[in-house]
Chains A and B, each alone.
Chain A
Amino acid sequence: MKFIYKTWWKVLAVVLVFYTLISGLLFQVPRLDILHETIRNLYFHVPMWMAMLTALVISVFYSVLYLRTGKEEHDLAAVECVNTGMIFYCLGLITGMLWAKYTWGEFWSGDPKQNSAAIAFLLYCAYLVLRNSIDEEQTRAKISAIYNIFAFPIMIVLLFVLPRMTDSLHPGGSGGNPGFNKYDLDSHMRMVLYPAFLGWSLLSLWIATIRYRIRLIEHKKNAIN
């Protein structure tokens, strides 16, 4: 846990996010039908999901660790990672919906990936409700850790497997978005997209660590010595 108190990766996060903001808006992008300039949203929409995934993976990692060790801090880390993941989840949904409005015509067009994302949202809402339903701290930590681990593979299936099996407006589906495809991603875009993944993931990690540290202080304050 020493890592979270280091400064260098936070600086890196800020630098990368600013880099993607500037280069994402100024760099050359391929001109494609339907998408036109909105293709720049790729730099902002997809990294949100990456950031969410990072937070949720770390959350599962801490849930596993909690079940192995039973240390309360691990439970706090897990829940704060889920909370942060939910923030980026909402941002990913909002950026996606705005993009969809300008390219597909509707905020919500019933695309399989959109629907799957909505279900995955319910999954993690259920996790938070489950936490609220149990009063006893250790039982709560244990059961929510179990549900978190149980929900994670389902979330992966929902977001990354099922939409690819059906006709989807998102790239990667068998229908495919006209004029936008994985193969159109040229090297210029990669130069912005991959740093954006890293930058936003680190940012989500940073937010999660701050929330976790606040929780830890509260936890220590409430402890009976």
Chain B
Amino acid sequence: MKLAGQTIELLKKEIILEWRSKYAFNGILLYIVSTVFVCYISFNLNPGFKQSTGYSIVWNILFWIIMLFASVNAIAKSFLQESKARLLYYYTIAHPQAIILSKTIYNTLLMSLLSVLALLVYLLFFPNKVDDILYYFITVLLGAMSFSTVFTMISAIASKAGNNGTLMAILSFPVVIPVILLLVKVSKAAMDGIDRSLSLNNIGILFAINVIVIASSLILFPFLWRD
């Protein structure tokens, strides 16, 4: 239970730090809004796009691509922004598993909030008929969780390897591609209003990937932080 207590304390600390500065939240929100706006303006250069047949497919994929890049940027910060001295301090007072767990949970919360806001902004600029809106929201939350688990561990690895953004992208994209594929499939099914039970299989795999990633993060992170 010591681990759970430490995780909750560290999570509180992350939230308080974020609440004071609101830097990550506002920064990423602005990032998402500007990306959506750029897409909106660019697509509007082509009249008739919204009536075209491929619109709903582009709509769905574009949303996930925006979310992918937003989450890379949001979560890359989780280890990169910490100074070396502060990390050292954490390691003296807390268990490494508590650190990675608290970061993962914090990123999941942050990304869930941001994803829902992003979807609302996106729907404002790109109106679309989503048949099963509740299921789509659930998929978006699932996506936020999956991105957070993968990117948190990768950002821990990348931060140890010279803190550069390129490395973060090349390490994480192959890992995240299966997640994206499943998310696009499930969300397209939600959009078309296909019976929910048909997507349960894909959601199961998504959960399985999350479990694998979290388990391997918990096992591997204690080796990673030690210098």
Contact = CB atoms under 8 A, between A and B. Distances in A.
A161 B205 contact: yes
Q: Give the size range of A's interface with the partner.
A: 20 to 34
A143 B224 contact: yes
Contacts of B162: 133-134
Contacts of A46: none
B16 interface: no
B220 A149 contact: yes
A34 to B, nearest CB: 28
Contact of A126 (B174, B208, B209, B224): B174
Interface in B161-211: 161-162, 164, 167, 170-171, 173-175, 177-178, 181, 201-202, 205, 208-209
B157 A162 contact: no
A79 interface: no
Given A133-B161, A139-B160, A154 B175 contact: yes
Contact of B175 (A134, A139, A145, A151): A151
B212 interface: yes
Binding site secondary structure of chain B: helix
A142 interface: yes
Interface stretch (A2-10, A115-123, A193-201, A206-214): A115-123
Contacts of A149: 216, 219-220
Contacts of B89: none
Interface residues of B, number: 29
| Interface-centre pick from B157, B173, B175, B201 (highest chain A CB count, 10 A) | B175
Given A134-B161, A139-B160, A153-B212, A123 B167 contact: no
Nearest to B219: A149
A153 to B, nearest CB: 5
Nearest to B223: A67
A130 interface: yes
Nearest to B185: A166
Nearest to A66: B223
A157 interface: yes
B174 A157 contact: no
A47 B181 CA distance: 28
A134 B161 CA distance: 6
B201 A165 contact: yes
Interface string A136-175: 0001001101110111011001100110010000000000
B224 A130 contact: no
A129 interface: yes
B153 interface: yes
A123 B175 contact: yes
Contact of B157 (A67, A150, A161): A150
Interface of A: 67, 116, 119-120, 122-123, 125-126, 129-130, 133-134, 139, 142-143, 145-147, 149-151, 153-154, 157-158, 161-162, 165
Given A122-B170, A139-B227, 7 more contacts: A133-B164, A146-B220, A149-B219, A150-B153, A150-B175, A154-B174, A157-B209
For the complex of A and B, list the 4 residue pairs with the smallest distance between their C-beta atoms, beginning with the closest: A123-B174, A122-B174, A126-B170, A146-B220
